[in-house]
Structure 1
Amino acid sequence: MAKALQNILFFTSLSLIASTVVGQELHKHFELKEANGIDKIELKVSTKAGKSFLNAVDAVEPLLILGASENDVAASSFRIEKLHNTQKVDAELTCKSHMGLNFTESVANSFFSSSDQVHDIWQINLSENQAFDLNLNYLMGDANVDLSRLAVERLKIKSASADVKLSYKDAIMNRVAMDTFFVKVNFGNIEVKDLNYALAKEIIAEVGFGAISIDCGSDWKMNSRVTASVGAGNLNILLPPKEIPVIIRLNNSPLCNIKMAENFEKIGHNTFGNQAYIDNPDESMEFLLDVGMGSIAFKNR
């Protein structure tokens, strides 16, 4: 097997003022130039605090990361590795005051921090002309992820105690079929809008003590499977229209709370289906749910 070319680079990037978000000047922290022969970028982003924004741009450069303070450039680290036709980028974004922040402290801060706390700001611009695998990790703070106009083959989002909102604001579907859509929350909240635009075949949700809300959207284009596990938190699902066949299979305990949508009938042991599924079980959206002490609520549109 041919050895892959590996280039590990740590950047103390530019201090050029590039843009503004929520009234703050943003400075360029990292830029990935156009890469010839690269089919896909595997991007891993980790933030410790503050506000984070991710969206598509019409640009030649595949990736641009901006931050609120040019003095914090050295606190972040960026690693690049090229493997065959894939470019891997690992970006750990933090300001100097949050360099040692860990999960336990993030949970405490989410309960006791004041509302006027100064936040870090991160803006991540992705080219709409590039295919991506995205691995997004948020320790605390807020994140807004807009996947409109992007080509995302795999998506993974994890929240420790952060509030994350994922949407398709331009109402434009993913430019490729997504292999896996994965969201996980510990103490935070993840809100997914218009999941149908992801074109995801496999959807996985894991809830610890926090909450995940999923809006399946007003249309569904493919047979998909949603696998979810809920510990002591909440999973709220806004179902697709009643014309879409849906089957729900539950593995629940006596300590959990399940609220089923009104038009679902019990068709087997811990198995429920809507009328569209009863009429046409071959073309369906399937939910496989495992819940402990938490709650799951299904709601019709």
Structure 2
Amino acid sequence: MAKALHQILLFTSLSLIASPLVGQELHKHFELTESKGIDKIELKVSTKAGKSFLNAVDEDEPLLILGASENDVAASTFKIEKTSNTQKVDAELTCKSHMGLNFTESVANNFFSTSDQVHDIWQINLSEHQAFNLNLNYLMGEANVDLSRLAIERLKINSASADVKLTYKEGIMNSVAMDTFFVKVNFGNIEVIDLNYALAKEIIAEVGFGTLSIDCGSDWKMNSRVSASVGAGTLNVVLPPAEIPVLIRINNSPLCNIKMAKDFEKIGHNTFGNQAYINNPDESMEFLLDVGMGSIAFKNR
């Protein structure tokens, strides 16, 4: 096996690209132009503030990252490593004014917001012709992630105090079966719409003090398992249609608040199932929940 290549790349390209998402010109910060011999890209993205957008493009170029200010090109760092047929990219995106921002400051800014937070704007374009593992980390600000037309084998999203929205706006399912969908919320908020389009076998969620809202979508095709732990935050779940068998197991405490959907019956200790599950327990979507001081609410479509 060839020796792994590891280097830090600081790109200074000043190409201008108009962004319809933010209505301004963006500058190229990083690009991968070659995908020959690469079966998968493991992409880790970390942003500290501002607004971030991620979506698919019909391009052979596997990865392009744009930023709002040409003066901030050198503030971000990009590490790449190729092992076998996998290309690893670690992108830490920040502008000069937020280079030293940490988690404690991000939580404070979540309560006492400053006007300069929105000045960081990031646009991440992923080729719909390439397979990805995504690890997305947002310290503060906003993030809009549209996974339509993408091939995501594994997904991890972490919000410190950011507001993150994950969608499939075009209504197109993940082109491969996703191994694991992992989401973690500290003080932020994450909203997942049409989770069914991810085709995820395992969904894992950790909620600290923030809020996680999941809409399972209208057409569930996988026998999936959702494992979630909720500390002092909130988990909201819009369930799949009534004809999808659903089993819910809850390990709770006296300090938590649980709101169960109307058509669920108690079938065991802290165990609930809908009528579809009672009729067909072998083909089901299963929720395994552990909650401390937080709240969990299930809602029918």
1:13-40 deviations in Å (ceiling 9; x for gaps) = 3111012242321000001012211000
1:218-277 deviations in Å (ceiling 9; x for gaps) = 010110000000000000000000000000000000000000000000000000000000
Where does residue 236 of structure 1 map in the other structure? 236
Aligned residues of 1:151 and 1:176 also touching (Cα < 8 A): yes
> Shift of the alpha carbon at 1:118?
4.2
Where does residue 199 of structure 1 map in the other structure? 199
CA distance in 1 between partners of 2:152 and 2:12 (Å): 26
Where does residue 113 of structure 1 map in the other structure? 113
- Secondary structure of 2:297's match? strand
Aligned residues of 2:207 and 2:231 also touching (Cα < 8 A): yes
Where does residue 97 of structure 1 map in the other structure? 97
CA distance in 1 between partners of 2:98 and 2:148 (Å): 31
Asked if 1:181 is matched to 2:174, the reply is no
Within a 5 Å distance, the mapping from 1:100-249 to structure 2 comes to 100-114=100-114, 117-249=117-249
- Secondary structure of 2:72's match? helix
Where does residue 74 of structure 1 map in the other structure? 74
Aligned residues of 2:174 and 2:199 also touching (Cα < 8 A): yes
CA distance in 2 between partners of 1:35 and 1:300 (Å): 43
The normalised TM-score by structure 2 is 0.98
CA distance in 2 between partners of 1:162 and 1:64 (Å): 23
- Secondary structure of 1:190's match? strand
Residues 126 and 281 of structure 1: is their aligned pair in 2 closer, same or farther, counting only changes over 3 Å?
same
Q: How many correspondences in the alignment?
A: 300
CA distance in 2 between partners of 1:24 and 1:72 (Å): 16
1:88-143 deviations in Å (ceiling 9; x for gaps) = 00000000000000000001011111457542000000000000000000000000
CA distance in 1 between partners of 2:147 and 2:217 (Å): 15
- Give unpaired runs (5+ residues) of structure 2: none
CA distance in 2 between partners of 1:4 and 1:263 (Å): 58
1:198-225 deviations in Å (ceiling 9; x for gaps) = 0000001110000000000001011000
Aligned residues of 1:72 and 1:96 also touching (Cα < 8 A): yes
CA distance in 1 between partners of 2:246 and 2:279 (Å): 11
Amino acid at match of 1:196: N
Asked if 1:37 is matched to 2:37, the reply is yes
Amino acid at match of 1:281: P
Aligned residues of 1:137 and 1:159 also touching (Cα < 8 A): yes
- Secondary structure of 2:243's match? coil
Where does residue 256 of structure 2 map in the other structure? 256
- Percent identity, please: 82
Aligned residues of 1:209 and 1:231 also touching (Cα < 8 A): yes
CA distance in 2 between partners of 1:174 and 1:266 (Å): 34
CA distance in 2 between partners of 1:9 and 1:289 (Å): 41
CA distance in 1 between partners of 2:127 and 2:84 (Å): 21
The normalised TM-score by structure 1 is 0.98
Aligned residues of 1:4 and 1:84 also touching (Cα < 8 A): no
Q: Please, which moves more after superposition, 105-114 or 115-124?
A: 115-124
1:32-63 deviations in Å (ceiling 9; x for gaps) = 01221100000000000000000000001000
